[in-house]
Amino acid sequence: ELALAGLVVAGTAPVWALVTVASVGNIAGSVVNWGIGRGAGHLAARLHPAGRRAAAVQAAVSRAGTLFRRFGSWTLLFSWAPVIGDPLTLVAGASGVSLSRFLIFVSIGKIVRFVAVAAIARFALSG
């Protein structure tokens, strides 16, 4: 956010381009998390098929999936938030949320965040 705000205030590039680059990069990182979540249970089972660790990981993923399904994919609108954003994207992958649904919610949340940062920088900080 600070880098984006600084670049907006400095006027180094069009605001739309800065917001686009920040959003695409951040969304791409979330897709990586989704993919890690998607494969986490399978990987744990392959590494320790009969071990207690695999059972514990699978139980944790199952519990997280239950909670995620209870509150729905709309929670991905908060994937931009510090501390909770990355775990939300991991759980979405582990819960089997489709990539297209994931991208819709995550993109909305992250683009709105970067538009707000750019707007604040442009109108409040450049004054």
**For residues 57 and 44, is the Cβ–Cβ distance under 8 A?**
yes
**For residues 95 and 38, is the Cβ–Cβ distance under 8 A?**
no
Q: Per residue, what are the HEC states of 106-125?
A: HHHHHHHHHHHHHHHHHHHH
Q: What is the pLDDT of residues 17-62, one digit of tens each?
A: 999 999 999 999 999 999 998 887 566 556 555 566 666 666 655 6
Mean pLDDT, residues 79-90: 86
Any idea what DSSP says for residue 84? T
Burial class (CB in 10 A: 0-12, 13-18, 19+), 50: exposed
Q: Which residue has the tokens 């909770």?
A: 84
